[in-house]
Amino acid sequence: MKSISIILVNYNGKKYNDKCIESILKSTIASQLQIVIVDNASTDGSLKLLQDNWGKNSQITIISLDKNYGFSEANNVGIRWAEKNGYDYFLILNNDTEIAKDAVEKMLDAYQKTGAMIVPKIVYADQPDTIWYAGGQFSKIIWKPLPRGMNQKDIGQYDCSRQCSFANGCSIFMSKKIIQQLGLLDEKFFLYYEDTEYSLRARESQVAVWYCAEATVFHKVNGATMGNDRPDSAYYIARNWLICNRKWMNKGRFTLFLCYFIPNRITWMIIWLISGRVNNIISTIEGIRDYIKGISGQYPKNSL
């Protein structure tokens, strides 16, 4: 009986989808899995390819949206579908990943032992001996999410499962109970910082985050968003950083803005100016402006 819904959001992921799906279907508990693909109005032909390659597979449901609603809302569409159809567990998974055969089984086992949100060890797909994320914590004062082990060689130093506080949105395993307690992802963010906000919401609600070292996900980093150093990304990072911290920081918000956010963004603006990427500077300023105006959702100049 299928009990776990794996939710993939596709936006122009033509070169990633098949490998991700194939790896899921090789899972040790494949019979328990239903893949829900939510397409954000892709323009690269990936929706048709998904329909042609997987549309007749009973373990795969494809939902086509009329426009690009962003990462949070598309995942929420998938979660709502899974809830309506009686699924007990949900795995949010980037489509630019492949998973180890026992990854879902290990995350399910970890949930049954802890009752927590479960995150796996994530390594670079092209350098599987190098860690991208091994759980994460929030820094003190400014509450910046800090992934453990990033860019370190994996020599077993993070092979011990443990509680952490930051759940990276690349791969999060949750139960119906957790969704009912925390609610869905915040759709204001469109892209970036939705996992930070959700982790802080979990902290507030005393829902634990558990790093499952036994589960491995291979990530083609920035495949889904085509890189973090784009004008679109600069906009979302600047705006959503401020939105998230306004929501979850009270006393420290002004200190964060003056002592960290401004110096950080100015440093990046200098780097972008030197490298000739003026559009990133403009997008950052627009992100701050839209935060002040209370504008959320998709960047008006979005090209993702």
pLDDT tens series, the chain, 304 aa: 679 999 999 999 999 999 999 999 999 999 999 999 999 999 999 999 999 999 999 999 999 999 999 999 999 999 999 999 999 999 999 999 999 999 999 999 999 999 999 999 999 999 999 999 999 999 877 778 899 999 999 999 999 999 999 999 999 999 999 999 999 999 999 999 999 999 999 999 999 999 999 999 999 986 554 455 789 999 999 999 889 888 887 655 566 666 778 888 899 999 999 999 999 999 999 999 999 999 998 998 765 5
220 contacts 103 by C-beta, under 8 angstroms: no
Where do the structural domains in the chain lie, given as residue ranges? 4-219, 231-293
Give CATH for domain 4-219: 3.90.550.10
State how far the Cα of 302 lies from the Cα of 304, in Å rounded to an integer: 6
